[in-house]
Amino acid sequence: MRKLRVIRTTPLAACLFTLAALLWCLPTSSAAAPRQATPARPEVRVDEGRLLGQVHDQADEFLGIPYAAPPVGALRFRPPRQPSPWRGERDATRQAPACRQFSPFGLRDPAAVSEDCLYLDVYRPRGTRPGQALPVLFWMHGGAYSQGTGTQFGGRTLASLTGSVVVSVNYRLGQLGYLTLPELTHDNAYDSGSFGLMDQIAALQWTHDNIAAFGGAPEAITISGQSAGSGSVCAMLASPRTKGMFTRAVLQSGPCSLLQTPQRSQSQRDSEEFATAAGCPAAQTRATCLRSATAESLIAAARTHPVSGPAVGDRLLPRQPFDAITDGDWNRVPVLIGSTRTESRFFVALSTPHLTPEEYTDTINRQYGTGAAQVLEHYPLSDYDSPYLALSTVLTDSTFACHTHWTAVALARQVPTYVYEFDDPQSPTLYGAQVPGVDMANAHSAELAYLFDFTMADRPLSSGQVKLADRMKRYWGAFLRSGNPNVRGQTPWPTGDSGSVLELGPGSDRVSMAFASQHHCAFWSSLPAPSPASPA
């Protein structure tokens, strides 16, 4: 099979992606105090004991469920362990803390974080009973592998509208989740420091083992994520550890060809530099030193020594996910994949929203070297209302849009693949991220408020947007059930093997064959890889 020629992600694009990702934390504390059951409170028995949830709108919700033991003390930098059972009934009506955050971006309550964070939330249609075998959405949040929390993604509306069960998880972040050091990896089964990915797999295994008690079908689990969460889906598609654990996958704004992860050797060098910055330079004492270090000291060291997610080249993730996919060496399942119309407006708005025409040209020249003249010819400032919009378009096309196309092409050669582009020019943005006078609609994360009871949208959806949100949920629900998102009475959604994309927008949805040409993907595929440059 001929491999696609995919351009290397530019240093500027990678920097902007890592800079902001998307998520803020607004969790509350977990609780495990026994409470008296009442007829109004749903009850479920899982492997560890009984859970008492609550009814919320038209859904039952079970919050703050431990899927692994707290990764603290001697369990820091170790694979997740089984959670301890409890006596009596565990209250499951409050969400757990977010995992420790490694990026100082958007936290509204810095105290609402903890290393004791390996919990998940489950949502189901109200009154669901064991044995109903409803399809399951397993959701992994984004945040550049260093920030975010699953608690922002309420699944009540999605569950009740589509007759599905929604599971949203926390996982270890930053260096607590991704640190490749022989002193930390030699004694685990995977010889891996990708503890965050191990957490996600442990949560998936817990879901597989327990979801029938909630009325879900363990044989109908769809793994799903956005941004870095989509990168985690890519890792699960390629990992031999997850074979047979899911039946479908959704990739939102995180195509596998774009989210390349570091090789083990590079990750180890980066991890050693981080350990030295954290005050643990000696290999013989490094494991003990890092396990006893304060979280604050680790976070301080991370500011100058960030991580890039799970490493490639161990028994957990032997190969780059996109390489595995193009070679056919992956966990083949139907895939739904897509992006937003102007993804990179988010990143440019948070870095250089008011750049001048001269700065636009300088940025392109610095970034693309010998290919800069061609980029400026394809994206002349005269075609845009501002340099901000021009640069946003360059970065959207060269990263998220065209990599979504290239990843979809590779997938569609092997499995049913359905491609979307979210395009609502009036979409809300993330609360706290607005830049006055800058249009950030349709940017990275714009679709999240349409699929979830999302806590971080800057404003509620309008009545017309709610109709779009309902259509999107029904598409997703159909895909969860059958691997085919088509819904009777809604716009037919063909597979992507013909180059078709379903444009999701206000008013109505439509099938387009112009996605690749609109985003100049043939141009970006032919452009020489940019020369190394310092990010702007």
- Cα Rg of the chain, angstroms: 22
Identify the domain boundary among 268, 298, 326: 326
Q: Is residue 156 part of a domain?
A: yes
Which residues pair with residue 504 across a beta bridge? Answer: 422
| Angle in degrees, 0-180, between the axes of helices 357-368 and 387-396, rounded to the nearest 10 | 20
Q: Do 244 and 127 belong to one domain?
A: yes
Separation CA 52–CA 41 (nearest Å): 6
Q: What are the catalytic residues?
A: 227
Quote the number of domains for the chain. Answer: 2
Average pLDDT over residues 61-72: 98
Under a CB-based contact definition with an 8 Å cutoff, are residues 202 and 67 in contact? yes
**CA torsion sign, 400 to 406 to 410 to 416?**
positive
The label of the residue with tokens 């330079």 reads 281
Q: Are residues 455 and 506 in the same domain?
A: yes
Same domain for 364 and 313? no
Q: Are 303 and 350 part of one and the same domain?
A: no
Q: Are 426 and 487 in contact (CB under 8 A)?
A: no
Q: Of 265, 300, 326, which residue constitutes the final position of a domain?
A: 326
Residue type, 181: L
Inform me whether the pLDDT recorded for 36 exceeds 70.
no
**430 bridge partner residues:** 457
DSSP state of 474: H
273-288 pLDDT, tens digit per residue, is: 999 999 999 999 999 9
Q: How many Cβ atoms are within 10 Å of 322's Cβ, its own excluded? A: 26
Single pTM value for the model? 0.92
- Asked if residue 32 belongs to a domain, the reply is no
Residue 533 lies in a domain: no
In a domain, 54, yes or no: no
Distance CA(111)–CA(95), nearest Å, equals: 14
480-489: average pLDDT: 97
Pair (94, 211) in one structural domain: yes
Tokens 């404003």 -> residue: 459
- The sign of the torsion formed by the CA atoms of 378, 382, 388, 393 equals negative
Q: In terms of domains, do 261 and 134 share one?
A: yes
301, 271 contact by CB (below 8 A): no
Say if 22 falls within a structural domain. Answer: no
Predicted confidence at residue 21, as pLDDT, reads: 39
Question: How confident is the model at residue 103, as a pLDDT?
Answer: 79
pLDDT over threshold 70, residue 165: yes
Per-residue pLDDT, averaged over 130-138, amounts to: 97
> Has residue 35 been placed in a domain?
no
The answer to the question of residue 45 being in a domain is: no
Q: Are 474 and 488 in contact (CB under 8 A)?
A: no
Question: How far apart (Å, rounded) are the C-alpha atoms in residues 194 and 287?
Answer: 15
The answer on pLDDT for 230 being more than 70 is yes
Same structural domain for residues 391 and 439? yes
Residue 530 has what pLDDT? 55
Across 85-113, average pLDDT = 85
User: Rounded CA gap, 221 and 28, in Å?
Assistant: 27
Mean pLDDT of 444-461: 94
Residue 11 — very low, low, confident or very high, per pLDDT cuts 50/70/90? very low
Do 412 and 495 reside in the same domain of the chain? yes
How many Å apart are CA 323 and CA 335, to the nearest integer?
A: 17
Q: Who contacts 276 (Cβ-Cβ below 8 Å, separation ≥6)?
A: none
The boundaries of the domain holding residue 140 are: 59-77+90-107+117-326
| End position of a domain, from candidates 308, 326, 344 | 326
Q: Are residues 319 and 359 in the same domain?
A: no
Look at the block and give the residue holding tokens 């105290």. 111
Strand partners, 98: 113
pLDDT of 40 higher than 60: yes
Q: Packing angle between helix 11-20 and helix 357-368, nearest 10 degrees?
A: 110
Domain assignment present for residue 322? The answer is yes
353 has a pLDDT exceeding 90: yes
What does the pLDDT look like over 367-402, one tens digit per residue?
999 999 999 999 999 999 999 999 999 999 999 999
What are residue 406's DSSP bridge partners?
Answer: none
Q: Averaged over 156-169, what is the pLDDT?
A: 98
Residue indicated by tokens 């102007």: 342
Helix (H, G, I), strand (E, B) or coil at 3: coil
Among 152, 143, 153, smallest CA distance to 103 is for: 143
Question: Is the same domain home to 496 and 410?
Answer: yes
Give CA–CA dist 341/423, Å, rounded. Answer: 5
Looking at the fold, whether 214 and 314 belong to one and the same domain comes out as: yes
Residue 53's pLDDT is: 98
Residue 228 and residue 146 share a domain: yes
Residue with tokens 């494991």: 287
Helix pair angle (387-396, 11-20), 10° resolution: 100
For residue 422, the domain's CATH number is 3.40.50.1820
